[in-house]
Amino acid sequence: MGDFRRAMREFFAFSDAGAQAQEITSQQHQALLAIRSHDGEDPISIGELAASLMIKNHSAVGLIARLVERGLVSRRPSPDDRRRVLLTLEPEGVRILDAICERNLTQLQQTRSILVGLVETLDRLGRP
């Protein structure tokens, strides 16, 4: 378990460095990921983003304002409920996210053996 915890800490540090290399914060990176990976029928709303990132709604509003200012995200009112603001990635946001993800996937490949070992240990212990 210790190896897994260390691998996770190393990966998060690596991922944060990748975000910094793209001149965004780790929280902005997490927001871009949440926007892109949202699988609802409509684009993700600011409220859903706040819940996903486990931050207050007003903090999400500020975070999105900075991403909009950088041209990474766009926001628009929901056609069904004008109080609801929907978020989508702009092409530059997609480019930055792709660059970070590509770098992170390479790092995860190097961590794969630790993750596989953890799953095997859980299987031996008979835990889901």
| Residue 38 is assigned to a structural domain of this protein | yes
Q: What is the tens place of the pLDDT at every residue in 74-87?
A: 999 999 998 999 99
- Whether residue 128 lies inside any domain: the answer is no
CA pseudo-torsion sign 55, 56, 61, 65: negative
In a domain, 127, yes or no: no
User: For 86-98, what is each residue's pLDDT tens digit?
Assistant: 999 999 999 999 9
62 domain residue, yes or no = yes
Look at the chain and report how many structural domains it folds into: 1
How much is the pTM? 0.86
Asked whether the CA dihedral 14, 18, 21, 24 is positive or negative, the reply is negative
Pick from 49-58, 65-74, 75-84: least confident: 75-84
Query: 48: domain range?
Result: 2-122
- Quick check: is 36 in a domain? yes
CATH for 49: 1.10.10.10
